[in-house]
Structure 1
Amino acid sequence: MFYEKLYWVQLFLVSILISSIVAEWNTRDYIRREHSLTKPYQGGGYSVPYWDFLGNTIVTSNYVRLTPDLQSKSGAIWNTVPCQTRNWELQVQFKVHGRGKDLFGDGFAIWYVRDRMQTGPVFGSKDYFQGLAIILDTYSNHNGAHNHQHPYISAMINNGSLHYDHDRDGTHTQISGCEAKFRNYNHDTHISITYVDDTLTVSTDLEGKNAWKECFKVENVLLPTGYFFGASATTGDLSDNHDIIAIKMFELDLLEAQNKDEDRSQIIPSAASFEAPRERIEDTKPAMSGVKTFLYMMAIAIVIIVLVVLGIMYYQKRQEQSRKRLY
């Protein structure tokens, strides 16, 4: 009897220890189903609970494909329920892949914005938006001075007055970014977007290690409650498959320093590190090489010679006509 009681006591203590360890590992276990997208995707018929679709988006048993690997395609997926949570984490499992080895595009964006279901030129969604865009850009326009390679992840905060400049890859309005080679992996890739106490943190797991690597962190970012989550993608002359495997949104606890009664619904999106777009300066045309300069000058000389010859011939013809009239 004694050993039996001892066994149950030991089993109870082990279960408590395991529970505490799991709790420490899985601190973000309060998932909000109304903001999440997981398999199986479909509900009744072709609908997906809490999500709407736009454009060329298709739903399969294994993924939601925003665009196929074809030119000039665009698609989006939008949550139907506004987010009223102050602190949150959005984990997106995705896969970008295609036939192109050196040329591919254009990329996709993850949104937390006021206006949902709006098509437009910014990776398939609306320009001059209000809210947050996390942009996973696979195609570089190679315009202007860049200090990074592509693919590239960046964040943009917009109050509705800013234009996303594709010709400059958005570098004039981004608040931060990092290089991230997330294309054509055999395994799924992940991105985490965390917003806690006005701090935005973006992390990735691109190597299948089940460990987050910080991409960037920006403090003093103001985002209101009541906006919508979404994801959109687009292709142009270049293309890729842009697949969403899962979206999981976790509600995080408020910190002690946060005012629980504060109304965040009327906040205008902004970031302390934000700078107004710099004046756009067109790329300087490269100076012509010596060979090009020589050919250019030769062409001008030939044109001048031709004009002179034609002038002389015209003058001689007039002189002959004048002599004929005299006779």
Structure 2
Amino acid sequence: MVLSSSIGLVLAACSSLLALSQADTVVERTSFGNGQRISADMSTLPGWELFGEDFFPEIMSDRIILTPPYLGHKRGALWSTDAVSESEWTVDFEFRANGEDRSGGNIQLWYVKNGNHDVGVHDIYNAGRFDGLAITIDNSQGRGMIRGFLNDGTIEYRSHSNVDRLAFGHCEYAYRNLGRPSHITVKQSMFSFEVLVDGRSCFHTKTIRLPPGNVFGISASSSDNPDSFEVFKFVLSLPRPGSNGGSPQKQRPYQGQGQGQGHHQPPVPRSGNNHHQASPEALSEIQSQVKDIKTRLQTLNDATDRLLNELSSLSWKFDERNQEIVRTSAHRDQVSSLDQRIMRLERMVEHVQKDLASKDYQRHFTRLEEALLHSHSGLLENLQDSSHRILSSAPRMGFFIFLLVALQLSLAGTYVYYKKRRATMPKKFL
């Protein structure tokens, strides 16, 4: 418990320091779900356009339903109306998927040019010649997968024979029916591009750098079986110009202004002796030093990212261990209660054994046996006397049977005599 809390404090401190060093600014117009209601009127989303096919996305107080949990073959999408003007950015995206485990639905996070016109409500398998990035979350080969796709506008995905082979990065992720939103983070810095899932690195590369001027979008589609895709959060963050994350390439649109400010110096006397010009060797040395500093900063940044990922994984493991300990503590209480009961029974049995060993009960057993024998013999004698008494006092059955037979014979003789007498009587006629 203490170690897990310490790890959590260390993670919080590192995150705070990292946030302060990066000093990211949230683009409010392109963000929603960051602690506020998604929409004030529950019908429109500022900075976004909603599209649908056979179903129009529904805006709730805390989420947007792109595809409903009933019927299939539904499509929904939302596209940002503002293009991103910076080349370094971070996106925090939260969604939830409910449906059958092996359903064919999917959800995409797009960063493309003219996304509303080139992509619309299509998924990665039905898209045409888009120009930009697509992060696809779907089932591939019976497993949940998160994959990244790139296109420069020359590949038509809908007619490609094997779209899965075009992915430049992927990781497995069971995203369906979790009962909670899944958190996807996409980061592009001056030196790398990375995708994280629930705080863990999914895939990253140092060879990809997407240009500014693209727009973000989210699309979802369901197959024959219904799939419910819900979006809870989309937050776009940009580094401030004066932060560590900034770079000359990021400030390229303002290069002229930046150079003017960077080369501004106090006025110097106009004399030939005081006018100096830097030599090419000095400039080359300065450039090499700057390059070395950039390399060291990148190495430090990568090491910090790895440390944060390891600390996050360690904290997650300790939290799981803590929960397991909490679950087992209840069983331990039950076991301890059972042990106490067993100990009480053992003490009672020991007391009985000691009592039996200390006292002589043989005399009591002998008396009990004699009493039982005496009762048994008395009972037998009483039974014999009772049976003789019953037999001797009972009436004689032979005399009773003789009376019964004589009565029957007298009745029969009387009846026969009556029939003969009636037959011999004269008959009277009217």
Fold equivalence (TM over 0.5):
yes
Q: Which amino acid aligns with 2:94?
A: Q
Q: Distance in 2 between matches of 1:164 and 1:174?
A: 12
| TM-score, length-scaled by structure 2 | 0.49
* Aligned alpha-carbon RMSD (Å): 2.7
Pick from 219, 229, 232: which aligns with 1:245? Answer: 232
Aligned to 1:52: 49
Distance in 2, Cα, partners of 1:68 & 1:26: 37
**1:276-291 correspondence to structure 2 within 5 Å:** none
Alignment partners' CA distance in 2, 1:181 and 1:25: 29
**3-state DSSP of counterpart to 2:143:** coil
- Look up the match of 2:40: 43
Which amino acid in structure 1 is aligned with residue 74 of structure 2? K
Q: Which has the higher helix share?
A: 2
Report the secondary structure of 2:202's partner residue.
strand
Distance 1:32 1:195, change over 3 A: same
Alignment of 1:227 with 2:224, yes or no, is: no
Aligned to 1:65: 65
Unaligned runs of 5+ in 1: 1-18, 143-148, 206-211, 265-327
State the partner residue of 1:80: 81
| Conserved? CA contact 1:125–1:232, under 8 Å | no
The structure that has the greater radius of gyration is 2
After superposition, residues 163-178 of structure 1 pair within 5 angstroms as 163-164=156-157, 170-178=163-171
Deviation, structure 1 residue 164 = 2.7
The answer as to whether partners of 1:123 and 1:233 remain within 8 angstroms in 2 is no
Match of 2:103 in 1: 104
Identity %: 23
Following the alignment from structure 1 to structure 2, what is the Cα–Cα distance between the partners of residues 178 and 20? 29
Match of 1:115 in 2: 114
- Cα distance between partner residues in 2 of 1:120 and 1:61: 23
Relative to structure 1, the CA distance from residue 85 to residue 257 in structure 2 (aligned partners, 3 Å threshold; closer, same or farther) is: closer
| Conservation of the 8 A alpha-carbon contact between 2:75 and 2:121 | no
Change (3 A) 1:169 1:189: farther
The residue that corresponds to 2:307 in the other structure is none
More strand by share: 1
* Equivalence map 1:147-296=2 (5 Å): 150-164=143-157, 170-197=163-190, 199-205=192-198, 212-252=199-239, 253=243, 255=245, 258-262=248-252
Encode CA deviations 1:86-109: one digit per residue, 9 max, x unaligned: 2110000110112x24x3131100
Code of the residue aligned with 2:67 in structure 1: it is: T
User: Any idea what the Cα deviations from partners look like across 1:250-294, whole Å, max 9, x if unmatched?
Assistant: 112464664354359xxxxxxxxxxxxxxxxxxxxxxxxxxxxxx
Higher RCO (CA 8 Å, separation ≥ 6 residues): 1
Cα shift at 1:189: 1.3
| 1:62 to partner: Cα distance | 2.4
Q: Give the 3 Å change call, closer, same or farther, for CA 45–110 of structure 1 in structure 2.
A: closer
CA distance in structure 1 between the aligned counterparts of 2:31 and 2:233, rounded to whole angstroms? 8
State the number of aligned residues.
230
Q: Which moved more, 1:224-233 or 1:251-260?
A: 251-260
Q: 1:169 to 1:247 in 2, by over 3 A?
A: farther
Partner of 2:95: 94
Instruction: Give the corresponding residue for 1:283.
Output: none
**1:200 and 1:217 in contact (8 A); partners too:** yes
1:164 and 1:173 in contact (8 A); partners too: no
For the structure 1 residues 239 and 213, does the alpha-carbon distance in structure 2 shift closer, same or farther, using more than 3 Å as the test?
same
CA distance in 2, matches of 1:121, 1:78: 12
TM-score by length of 1: 0.63
Letter matched to residue 192 of structure 1: T
The offset of 1:202, in angstroms, is 0.2
Q: Which runs of 5+ in 2 are unaligned?
A: 1-11, 255-430
Q: Distance in 2 between matches of 1:189 and 1:45?
A: 23
Q: 1-side partners of 2:78 and 2:246: how far apart?
A: 35
Q: Residues 124 and 233 of structure 1 are in contact (CA less than 8 Å); yes or no, is this contact kept in structure 2?
A: no
| Per-residue deviation, 1:150 | 2.0
